[in-house]
Amino acid sequence: MATAAQAVLVESAHDVGEPPPEAGRSKERSRSQFADMWRRYRRNKLAMVGLVVVGILVLLALLQPFISPYDPYDQNLENTLSSPGGDHLMGTDALGRDLYSEMLYGLRLALVVGLATMLGSMLLGVALGAIAGFRGRFSDAVIMRTTDIFLAFPYLIGAILVVRTFGSGVTQVIIALVVLGWPTAARLMRGQMLALREAEYVEAARSIGASDWRIVVRHIMPNAIQPVFIYSFTSIGIAVVAMASLAYLGVGVPPDTPEWGRLINQGIEQVQVAGKDYLWMYPSAGICLTTLAFAFVADGLRDSLDPKLR
Amino acid sequence: MGKFVIRRLAQAVMVVIAATLLLFIGLFVLGDPFASTGDKVVPPATQEILRAKFGMDHSVPMQYLTYLGNLFTGDLGIDFDQRRPVADMLGQAVPATARLALVAIILDVLIGVVAGIIAAVWRYSFWDVLVTILTTLAIGLPTFVIGLWLRQTVSGVWIFPQVPRSFTEQAPWYTEVLLPAITLAVVDAAFIARLMRGSMLEVLRMDYIRTARAKGLGERTVIMKHAFRNSIIPVVTYVGISIGILMGGAIITETLFQYNGVGFLLYKSIQFNNNPVIMAIVTFAVLVYVLLSMIVDILYAYLDPRIRLS
Amino acid sequence: MRKQAWLRAAAGLTAAALVLTACSQKSNEGSSNNDNDKATKSAGWPETPLPDIKKGKKGGTFRFGISEPTAIDPYNAQESEGLLVTKYLFTGLITVGPEGDVHPGVATKWESNDDCTKWTFNLKTGTKFHNGEEVTSESFKRGWERVAAKDSASEVSYHLDGIKGFDEMQAGTATTLSGLDASDPAKLVVTLKDPNCEFYLRTYHPVFSPVPSTAGSPTTNTAYVEQPIGNGPFMMDGPWQHNVGIKLKRFDGYKVGHPAYLDSVEITITANGNQDEYAGYQNGTFDWARMPTPVLSQARSTYQPQGQWITRTTNGMNYLLVMVTKKPLDSAKARKALSMAINRDAIINGVFKGSQSPADSLVPPAFPDAYQKGVCAACTYNLDEAKKLAKEAGLTPGTELNFQFNVDAGHEEWTAAVKDQLETNLGLKVSLGGVQFKDMLNNEQQPGSTGIYRAAWGADYPTPGNFLEPLLSTDAIGAPADKPTVGDNRGRYSNKKFDSLLEEAKSEKEESKRVSLYQQAEKIAIGDDMALIPLWNRTQHRLANTDKFINLRMDFSENPDLYEISIK
């Protein structure tokens, strides 16, 4: 949540001092750069594992309607809280619903929310951060102070306020997470902007009469977007954890939705009963695995894009 | 430089006012604090009396101004639930959270920095991989899962005080604070380790390190005297922000461990629509964050002439 | 080459995931082949008998946990935790046993005039407060006025509504209750605005406690609020340590009855409620504990053989509040259909592991004289009849139904089960929403609200009238049809015959006649009209340390009866 975001902020702020790479020229150069990047990425074992796992998770999520052994909402009050095994791979929950089916459904939900949140906060954050960084002065101050307001609010209050105002549901959770997530992307983008707009190639482009818009889009953006692009993968993991934490506190999706955070919440209710730990361990492992996979991919991307680490 | 500081200060004040105003309005969204006590409705006549008592029978702008005015004289009001002075309640909770934050920071800095240095210096070794895996694991698990697991397995063992225990058996504060501090420290330590590792790796590649080695300095001196000092900067930034966030109260962790800090107080206040307490705590959290953020910004501006002069 | 290895690994893992799952969805049947021919096991654990109260001996410390109360001062004590402490710090006019049986408190006898508008309480003389001051009728007058004063802004002052002079005090135009006459220190005379033959039962509530002259106003004398001086068997041993604990010690000068046996009581304030209490009992910290629902079976099998288990049905009922003036449940047939489509036993067995007992009335079995077994005929599961009635009432498949409950109170599972049953059995389209309690209350009050809401009720006074009147009388709606309700009858049930039966009961001096009037009223509201849908009785389970203590039982308010507990 907040801590992950701030770490990325600090990491990237530290990166600002690097000399910017050369201005993007022709397409052939980009293609071989891409191949280069992929080669470096493949060498990183952890990153490859992450990529494969992400791929599998996405596949499972897409195929969920077809491969789910039971309807995740289907209750069976005569077979509640049964341990893994037999008809039910991961056992059943307090309403007799098949935990494995619920896990698959929860995966699908998590990825959807994660992706939507990432897109939403990246779009909003990049746009505002670019304006803040490039324009400077007043727009910078206004936008940065707005991010301050959002970041200063204790996370829980902000989330509760948003969800209470708009009601509970998947869309509202996405809205809440985007509202809470865009400031980090904006700061990241702004930091990059600040560093790169003073670069020589920008001066060169300006001297031949290129407009601000052209400079931003064609010259600065391709370089500036890099850390944001990397962060976007981490942010998917962050969004999944955030949604689960909100569900743990009872805020978010409708109560009988098989969402991982809710499953953990329900599992924790059973925590004092012997032998029911599987109820919260499976969804926790799910969250952990998803976050890790995306984090490894992000790490791998960063290492492979960094020209110094050969 | 001076103008920058003043500008920044003015902006900080505006952020605090904007945040508190937003919160004040938001509290009305959270609902009517006097509508019910427990399961039973409060009769309208009594609601009138309650509203008059707490000054909620005036218009919203009037209430906000009155609140601000009281704030300046240090009067935080009386809470809606137990009718105690909010200042008293904070007076008990804030030092508790401060102690928790302090111990958590000490733990995560120690562990994180050491782990990060080891991973960087012995890159690609077993330790490096171990640190990478452990840190990403720690980031992947939600705080409440870590806390819960700790509470189930470790409370009552060795120096960790038993949770729950009779209140007449007060454990000394430094043992009481251990388990929640460890829970909080796990995630932060992971981030610090990664920051430290990345930062150190870069610094170790620098020319002046090569020079130091060429001069014949021992490896330990090279690392501890030269590399360490330069690579610690992002960690310092991160810790600064971390303190700010921890002071806002770690709601989930405090509740899990029966720890009477600001986070737990906030959580209960939200449930009972205890507006004066919510206002006081969020204002406090916003103030702390804004202050720290301002200090960090000023420090950066001081160090980087590009930003200072923009 | 490496690329191929990766692809193979990926393919293998995916294939494994697919193979592990069937390609077509199975239906989730579980242990039975056909739901209908196996009768659902009837739910409920048997009550444990009340212990015989033996004479105890002085000594011992009793420890248990509660969550932080709002107030322990009688002027504002409201929820069960606060009322628990207040009840043992103060003794009122009457005392009530665990089964609702009324006994003298400070008042040795009481009687009303013929039309029940004037009550005279004769008080025992020579009893004292913890600070030595004598308890007289003036002490009671002082206490009650302290509650009713506008300046005190008590949230529980409504209990005093009905005493002459109450409205004036609430408006701030009077500083005394004109209806209280304390001129004779050994007699308290109460004049009411309207007849109420059950008024004396109200005084069971701690809000009617006497206070010493040092109490003052709760807004100015906050020291008293933090450390009340009462006249009960226990006194405060130090002030209330917020969020930490409350310590009580025996008041040796207690003269209303025998002095308490325990030397002291340590009440720890827990952060996580039932979970902490159970964990605390297991690790030996507490001598009494409530338990979270999921652990009940396990706890029972561990502790019942050791004789440390208590199960009792108590003064309370769990039900579904129905908005009876709006579609789709505006006819008794529709409501009965709904009720008969809910398989209470299955839910209790599945979700509550058998720890509750299905309801068949509104007035619970905890009122043995008034309880009518089976008065709610539609509370039995009968799918065929339900479908038939639903058809007649226009409750057709596809009808939308709104169903709300309050979050953070453990209702997520059973409400989902009810939703599932209604959708499966009647084909309804149920939209289930979990909201904060205050929001749910607010939603219920709105004139346009429809559908069903999770609800529970416990009587404040030991009389069935305190179920029927606040929940179902027309007065308890408190507002016209186009305005939000202000009373507790948020379903807006209104029946003239029902109202007149209640009026009659209130003016009926003879208790058995009163009870029969209440029974007739319940028959109309629940038996005929199904004004709300009872689900399961309030059953409470406790763990009690019978190794160390005797006389362990719940009092009428489900709290440990600290007065009689003694070490072995």
**pLDDT tens for residues C152-183?**
999 999 999 999 999 999 998 999 999 999 99
Q: H/E element holding A51?
A: helix A45-67
Greater confidence, A213 or C497?
Answer: C497
**Mean model confidence pLDDT for chain C:** 90
C168 three-state secondary structure: helix
- In three-state secondary structure terms, C485 is coil
The pLDDT confidence band at residue A134, using thresholds 50, 70 and 90, is confident
If you search the block for the tokens 């501006």, which residue do you land on? B301
How confident is the model over C229-248, as a mean pLDDT? 94
CA angle, residues A156, A162, B250, in degrees to nearest 5: 0
C24, HSE (Cβ side, Cα atoms, 13 Å): 1
- Within 8 A by CB and 6+ apart from B124, the residues are none
* CA atoms of C86 and C156, how far apart (whole Å): 14
> What kind and span of H or E run contains B247?
helix B233-247
Subunits close to C (at least 3 CB pairs below 8 A): A, B
Residue C364: partners with Cβ closer than 8 Å, 6 or more residues away:
C313, C314, C315, C316, C317, C371, C467, C537, C538
Cβ C27–A66 below 8 Å, yes or no? no
Pick from C42, C59, C526: which is nearest to C322 by CA? Answer: C526
Q: Indicate the range of B122-131, C7-16, C50-59 predicted with least confidence.
A: C7-16
Residues of chain C contacting B162 with CB distance shorter than 8 Å = 283, 285
DSSP class of C106: S
pLDDT at C288 (0 to 100): 96
Q: Which of A9, A10, A134 should be substituted to probe chain B, the one whose Cβ sees the most B Cβ atoms within 10 Å?
A: A10
Which of A272-286, B180-194, B214-228, C380-394 has maximum average pLDDT?
C380-394
**A79 vs A100 pLDDT, higher one:** A100
SS3 breakdown of chain A: % helix, strand, coil, rounded to 5? 75, 0, 25
Q: Which residues of A touch C18 (CB under 8 A)?
A: 63, 67
Strand-pair partners of C269: C66
pLDDT at B77: 85
* Average pLDDT, integer, range B197-203: 81
Contact indicator for B189, B138 with CB cutoff of 8 Å: yes
- Check residue B233 and give its pLDDT: 75
* Rounded alpha-carbon distances, angstroms, from residue B232 to B201, B203, B224: 12, 10, 11
| Residue C114 neighbours by CB distance under 10 Å | 9
B54 is written with which tokens?
């707490």
- Is A95 in contact with C417 (Cβ distance < 8 A)? yes
**3-class SS string, C394-460:** CCCCCCEEEEEEECCCCCHHHHHHHHHHHHHHHCCEEEEEEECHHHHHHHHHCCCCCCEEEEEECCC
Phi-psi region of B125 (alpha: psi -120 to 50; beta: other; left: phi over 0): beta
Residue of chain B with shortest Cα separation from A141: B11
Cα-flanking dihedrals φ and ψ of residue B85, to 5°? -65, 130
What are the CA-CA distances from residue B212 to residues B116, B121, B201, C179 (Å)?
21, 16, 16, 94
Alpha-carbon distance A208 to nearest alpha carbon in chain B (angstroms): 23
- What local confidence, expressed as pLDDT, does residue C40 receive? 64
Q: Cβ atoms within 10 A of the Cβ of C103, count?
A: 9
Check residue A23 and give its pLDDT. Answer: 45
Three-state DSSP class for residue A125: helix
Query: Mean pLDDT over residues A270-290, rounded?
Result: 84
Test mutation, A45, A135, A149, chain B, max B CBs within 10 A: A149
The pLDDT value recorded for residue C317 is: 94
Q: In one letter, which amino acid is A135?
A: R
**Cis amide leading into A258 (omega within 30):** no
The rounded distance, in Å, linking the Cα atoms of C416 and C422 is 10
Residue C40 and residue C297: Cα distance in Å, rounded? 18
pLDDT of residue B11: 83
Measured between beta carbons, the chain B residues lying within 8 angstroms of A268 are 144, 148
Per cent of chain C over pLDDT 70 is: 92
Integer Cα distance of C430 and C413 in angstroms = 15
* Token reading at A94: 């307090």
List CB contacts (< 8 A) between C434 and chain A.
168, 250, 254-255
Q: How many CB atoms lie within 10 A of CB A182?
A: 24
User: Could you report the per-residue pLDDT of C73-94, keeping only the tens digit for each?
Assistant: 999 999 889 999 999 999 999 9
**Closest Cβ–Cβ partner in B15, B143, B191 for A148:** B15
pLDDT tens-digit readout, C253-312: 999 999 999 999 999 998 778 888 998 899 888 999 999 888 898 899 999 999 999 999
Q: Compare all CA atoms of chain B with the CA of C442 and give the residue at the minimum distance.
A: B35
Residues in C closer than 8 angstroms to A55, CB to CB, are 10
C142 has a pLDDT exceeding 80 = yes
Q: Taking CB atoms and an 8 Å cutoff, what residues of chain C touch A80?
A: 350-351
Chain length of chain A: 310
A205 phi-psi bin (left φ>0, alpha ψ -120 to 50, beta other): alpha
pLDDT of residue A183: 87
Six-digit token string for A81: 């809280």
- Residue B99 host element (H or E): helix B86-121
Looking at residue B305, its pLDDT comes to 61
CA of B273 to nearest chain A CA: how many angstroms apart? 12
pLDDT computed for residue A24 by the predictor: 45
Handedness of CA B272, B273, B276, B278 (dihedral sign): positive
Given the structure tokens 């039975």, which residue do they identify? C32
The token pair that represents A142 in the structure block: 């206004």
Residue C23 has pLDDT above 50, yes or no: no
Q: What share of chain C is helix, strand, coil (3-state, %, to 5)?
A: 30, 20, 50
Token digits of residue C431: 């939209």
Residues of A in contact with C37 (CB under 8 A): none
Stretch (H or E) spanning B67: helix B60-72
pLDDT digits (tens, 9 = 90+) for A227-245: 788 788 878 888 888 888 7
CA–CA dist B108, B114 (Å, integer): 10
Alpha helices in B141-177 (DSSP H): 143-154, 173-176
What is the count of residue pairs from B and C with beta carbons less than 8 Å apart? 117
Burial class (CB in 10 A: 0-12, 13-18, 19+), C385: middle
**Chain A contact present for B298, CB below 8 A:** no
Cα-based torsion angle of the residue sequence C382, C384, C390, C392 in order, rounded to the nearest 10 degrees: -130
pLDDT score for C59: 93
Quick one: tokens of A286?
A: 């799910």
Total-model pTM? 0.84
The chains found to touch B (3+ Cβ pairs under 8 angstroms) are A, C
In 3-state terms chain B splits into helix, strand, coil percentages (rounded to 5) of: 75, 0, 25
What six digits make up the tokens of B286? 């916003």
| pLDDT for res C306 | 94
Task: Note the pLDDT of residue C16.
Answer: 56
Grade residue A310 by pLDDT with cuts at 50, 70 and 90.
very low
DSSP state of C41: P
pLDDT tens for residues C397-455?
999 999 999 887 888 889 999 999 999 999 999 999 888 788 888 899 999 999 999 99
Overall average pLDDT of the C375-394 stretch: 93
- Measured distance CA(A105)–CA(B248) in Å, rounded: 35
Binned at pLDDT 50, 70 and 90, residue A30 comes out as low
Which residues, in sequence order, are CB contacts of A183 under 8 Å at separation 6+?
A125, A146, A147, A150, A151
What is the C-alpha separation between C438 and C382, in angstroms, rounded? 34
CB C524 within 8 A of CB C495: yes
pLDDT exceeding 70 applies to what percent of chain B? 91
More confident residue, A159 or C545: C545
Confidence (pLDDT) at A216: 66
Element (H, E) at C544: strand C533-544
pLDDT digits (tens, 9 = 90+) for B204-241: 888 888 888 888 877 777 777 777 877 787 787 788 77
Return the top range by mean pLDDT from A231-245, B89-103, C331-345, C428-442: C331-345
Range in B115-124, C51-60, C374-383 with the lowest mean pLDDT: B115-124
Q: B42 contacts in C (CB within 8 Å)?
A: 155, 158
The answer to whether residues C86 and C211 touch, using CB atoms and an 8 Å cutoff, is: no
- Min distance C290 CA to chain A CA atoms (Å): 13
**pLDDT category of residue A1 using cuts at 50, 70 and 90:** very low
| Helix count and strand count (H, E) for chain A | 12, 0
Task: From C426, C386, C384, select the one nearest C403 (Cα to Cα).
Answer: C426
- Crossing angle, helix C332-340 and helix C383-393, to 10 degrees? 150
Phi, psi of C566, deg, nearest 5: -145, 155
Give the pLDDT of residue B159.
66
CB-based contact A259:A114 (threshold 8 Å): no
Q: Which of A10, A151, A237 sits opposite B289 (nearest CB)?
A: A151
Query: What confidence tier does A6 reach under pLDDT thresholds 50, 70, 90?
Result: low
Interface probe, candidates A75, A100, A103, A253, chain C, greatest C C-beta count within 10 A: A75
Lowest average pLDDT, out of A12-16, B128-132, C392-396, C464-468, goes to A12-16
Nearest to C30 among A79, A94, A168 (CB): A79
Share of chain A above pLDDT 90, in %: 13
Distant-in-sequence, close-in-space partners of B127: CB < 8 Å, separation ≥ 6: B118, B119
Nearest Cβ partner for B258 among C241, C271, C283: C271
Q: Output the pLDDT for position B37.
A: 73
Q: With cut-offs at 50, 70 and 90, classify the pLDDT of residue A200.
A: low
Structure tokens given for B137: 């694991």
Q: Do the strands C452-457 and C309-322 form a parallel or antiparallel pair, or are they unpaired?
A: antiparallel
Return the percentage of chain B with pLDDT > 90, whole number.
3
β partners of residue C104: C94
Sign, CA dihedral B261-B266-B271-B272, equals positive
Beta bridge partners of C416: none
- Phi/psi of residue B225, nearest 5 degrees: -85, -45
SS3 state of residue C234: strand
- Closest by CA to C53, choosing from C97, C96, C105, is C97
Q: By mean pLDDT, which of B137-146, B172-181, B282-291 is the weakest?
A: B137-146
Task: Look up residue C437 and give its two tokens.
Answer: 């309690």
pLDDT reported for residue A9:
53
Residue C565's identity, in one-letter code, is I
Counted residue by residue, chain B has a size of 310
Region C507-521: mean pLDDT is 93
Q: Is the pLDDT score of A28 beyond 60?
A: no
Give the closest-approach CA distance of A202 to chain B in angstroms.
15
